[in-house]
Structures are given as C-alpha cells and as structure tokens.
C-alpha cells in the first residue's frame, strides 16, 4: 500500500515541444488539463472533453492524438508537440499557408487542426485534398472556414514535399 502511494506521487517525466518536464499530478488526469493548467500551455483547447471535436489535438511521438482522451500516466517518457511549438518555426509552410489563405474565423479549432495536419503531412507528404479532408473529419469547425483550411493544408503539403 505504501509503495502504491509513493508510485502515485512520483512525478511523471515527459518532453513537450523539445523541453523536459517533470509533472506532479494525478496520473489519470487527461493530458489536456495538464498542458493547460499545470504547465500553462493553453494553445491546446478544450472543446468537448470526450474526443469528439479534435480541438485538443496534439502530436505524440508523431501521431495526432486528442489530448482530452489520453491520461498523463500513459504519456510518461513520450514526446509531445503542441501548437506553441510552431511559434519556434514561424516559416513553417503550414503557418504561412494558414495566414496566406486567412484560414480561420474565430480560431478556436485551429490549433487542433494545425496539429492534425502537421502529423498527417509528416507521415503522408503526398496526401491529396480528399485524404486531408478525410483525416480532418475528426476536427470540427463551426464558423465554416473549412474550404480555406483545406486550401491551406493542401498548399502547405506542396511546400513540405519540396524538402523531400
């Protein structure tokens, strides 16, 4: 019992946007809440808390994951990318393309879409518009910026392929 308690309180280590973090929190806490409240990285957004809207999408070891649906305990030792990490790469084709196409209105859904798109294009650099749309079906947008977002991701893909 004692051992279990100390396991409970053991800080959990993980990497976020290249920096190492050691976090003391209940290991069942969804990663989303840890990012927003324990660490203060608020670009990952709460939309539904039940993995149905995609607003909280982050990249974990190369995979797009909804961070409301994964516990802190299960990301121990893993590498997490959030939208804040994009700030360090301001010329990233996705950012440039989203701005060029003015792809967004209220912008609440955008960070999740950006992360989902980044994970997709890094894995499938030749993803077609149809494929992009199919993958982004996990992300909801209510303002109706979809067409611009598809334009932006499709164009970013072209630039990202050039580097290959």
Partner 1 sequence: MVPPSPLANAPHLKHWLRLSEEKELIFFTGRVELGQGNTTALLIMIADELDVLPTSIILETARTDLTPNEGITAGSMSITIGGQTLRWVASALKMQFLEIASERLSVKAKDLSISEGYIFNKGKRTEFSLTDFFDRLDLTKKIVDDANPKTFKERRKSFRDINRIDLESCLFGAPFIHDLKFDGMVYGAPVHPPSTYSRLVDLDLEMLKCRPGVIKVVKNGSFVGIIASTSYHAKNALSWARNNGKWESNIKDPVNHLKILKNLDTKPETVIESRDVNKNSGTWFEIIASRPFIYHGSIGPAAAIAKAEKDKITVFTHSQGVFQLRQAIAKVLNTAEEKICVIHKPGSGCYGHNGADDVAFDAVLMAKSVPGLFLKVVWSRFDEFHSSPMGASMVTKSRALLSANNRLVAFDVELNSTPHTNRPSANYPNLRAAGYLANPISPSRTPDVPVERGGGADRNAIPSYEVGGVRVRKRIIYDTPYRTSALRSLGAYCNVVANEALLDSIAKQIEVEPIAFRLDHTTDPRAREILERLDYETKKDRATSNEEGIGWGIGFARYKGSGGYCAVMVKVHVGDNVIVTDAISVSDVGEAVSSDGVKNQVEGGIIQSISWTLKECVPVDGFSATAASWTDYPILKFSEIPNLRTILIDRPEEKPLGAGEISQGPTGAAIVNAVADAIGMHVTNLPITRDAIISTINGGD
Residues that bind partner 1 (CB under 8 A): 26, 29-30, 33, 36-37, 40, 42-43, 45-50, 52-53, 55, 83-87, 95, 98-99, 102, 104-111, 114, 130, 132-134, 136-137, 139-150
Q: Report, in Å, the least distance between residue 117 CB and partner 1.
A: 11
**Spatial distance between the Cα atoms of 104 and 148, rounded to a whole number of angstroms:** 7
Nearer to partner 1, 15 or 133 (CB): 133
Nearer to partner 1, 12 or 109 (CB): 109
Q: Report, in Å, the least distance between residue 100 CB and partner 1.
A: 9
Local structure of residue 59 (DSSP, 8 states): E
Q: Report, in Å, the least distance between residue 91 CB and partner 1.
A: 13
Local structure of residue 74 (DSSP, 8 states): G
Give the number of C-alpha atoms closer than 13 A to the C-alpha of residue 119, restricted to the C-beta side: 21
CB neighbour class for 159 (10 Å; exposed up to 12, middle 13-18, buried from 19): middle
Nearer to partner 1, 42 or 164 (CB): 42
| Residue whose C-alpha is closest to residue 139's, from 68, 47, 2, 77 | 47
Q: Report, in Å, the least distance between residue 162 CB and partner 1.
A: 22
């Amino acid at each position: 019992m004692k051992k279990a308690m100390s396991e409970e309180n053991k800080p959990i280590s993980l990497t976020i946007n290249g920096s190492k973090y050691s976090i003391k929190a209940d290991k069942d806490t969804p990663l989303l809440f840890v990012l927003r409240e324990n660490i203060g990285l608020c670009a990952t957004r709460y939309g539904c808390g039940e993995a149905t809207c995609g607003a909280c999408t982050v990249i974990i070891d190369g995979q797009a994951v909804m961070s409301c649906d994964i516990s802190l305990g299960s990301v121990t030792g893993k590498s997490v990318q959030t939208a804040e990490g994009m700030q360090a790469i301001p010329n990233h084709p996705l950012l440039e393309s989203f701005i060029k196409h003015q792809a967004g209105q209220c912008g609440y859904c955008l960070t999740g879409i950006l992360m989902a798109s980044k994970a997709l294009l890094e894995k499938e650099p030749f993803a077609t518009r149809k494929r992009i749309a199919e993958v982004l079906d996990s992300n909801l947008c209510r303002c109706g910026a979809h067409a611009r977002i598809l334009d932006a991701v499709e164009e970013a893909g072209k630039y990202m392929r050039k580097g290959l």
